[in-house]
Chain A
């Protein structure tokens, strides 16, 4: 029994190996891009629009609103990153409805890659917003004594992100696999439905946490702006 799709390798050359995780990811990427292209190539700016365009607009605007509500004033700047995390994880998790499909998010390598992306994105956005010093200052908040704890927190939350997503999705797939061998009727379906909900919730949690981390990193510049306002 395979615990991770990484273990199924299709092609190998030296250290390069193409496994199920990568292949599934590419297929998901291709589907997402093609569907997006097909819908967005005939966008209409009238008041009457197609239902597909309406769905995409709802999705994009919903994500925009969520990002804004968490505290990032210019959501369009973060939409590419956070939106892609959400869409990829959600699409990856919801595709479990297809039989024989193994979500790439059930691979620790994928979740770790996403967590590392968040880990790297936080300082990038933080520095771009409040500069290197401004960003580094967030590590000594509220006092200098908190520096090691802040660094530990930074690392542990990245690990938590990766393991949370991996654990939830992998466990869902594992439970379905185990139930299939015990009770092949009905139960696996219920568990799959549960898996759909869990998958969507995990996608939401992952992207929201990423947003919160980025928002926390950009707080320095925001507090500066707030401090400057009364003087004006």
Chain B
């Protein structure tokens, strides 16, 4: 248990050499590597931090854009909805108007058809009724009836109003043609002379008379001269009845056009 001084010195030198070698091959590289890694990690952390910040910023930006986009979309959607509502309203209105127009047209057509049918029926009825009247009166007509008619005609001439009388007289005076007297049957002489007498008495002039038989009159007498006509015939009554019947029909025909 003695100290070997040579060994002691040698060990001190050995220790110093070992210290240098370990410094060279162990501590320095290890500490350097640790420092480098730490600085790298710090850099990476900083980088990550900056990236995180950037990402947050981008996310914020994205969110803002998203919100803006959403609001724009909502706005557009609202606009589109409003436009579509407006369009719908317009189209509905248009369709309603068209439908109304069509309905009106259809109603008019129905009414027109109905009126036409009614008119046709009425006209047929009229025609039939008149035909029946005409036939009945034609069948009933006889000489006695003619006599009665002459009397009635003469009475009618007598019953003319003042103005009518003046018109009648002036018309007869203006022309030279003979007065045409038409009857459904041939008149007897007495009847002819009665008529002549009555007319001459009214006009206080002698006029020439021409007597004609016209079966179309059915029954009655018609006096015409210079465009003036004075008559009493069954046919005339029927005509006036016919006219009366036709007037309401004409009125009904006019009614749809009045509505328009």
Contact = CB atoms under 8 A, between A and B. Distances in A.
A212 B93 CA distance: 104
Interface stretch (B14-22, B54-62, B192-200): B14-22
B31 A107 contact: no
Contact of A37 (B25, B32, B41): B25
B7 to A, nearest CB: 4
13 contacts: A29-B17, A29-B18, A29-B21, A53-B33, A84-B15, A87-B22, A107-B7, A109-B8, A113-B9, A113-B11, A113-B14, A114-B15, A116-B12
Contacts of B37: 45-47, 49
A32 interface: yes
Interface residues of B, number: 34
B18 to A, nearest CB: 5
Contacts, number: 120
Contacts of B140: none
Given A25-B11, A40-B25, A113-B10, 12 more contacts: A21-B11, A22-B14, A33-B25, A40-B30, A46-B37, A80-B27, A83-B27, A104-B11, A109-B3, A113-B9, A113-B12, A114-B15
Interface residues of A, number: 47
Interface stretch (A56-64, A148-156, A190-198): A56-64
Contacts of A85: 15
A138 interface: no
Interface string A9-49: 00000011101011001100100110011001001111101
Interface of B: 1-12, 14-19, 21-23, 25-27, 29-34, 36-37, 40-41
Nearest to A19: B7
Q: Is the interface of A mostly helix, strand, loop or mixed?
A: helix
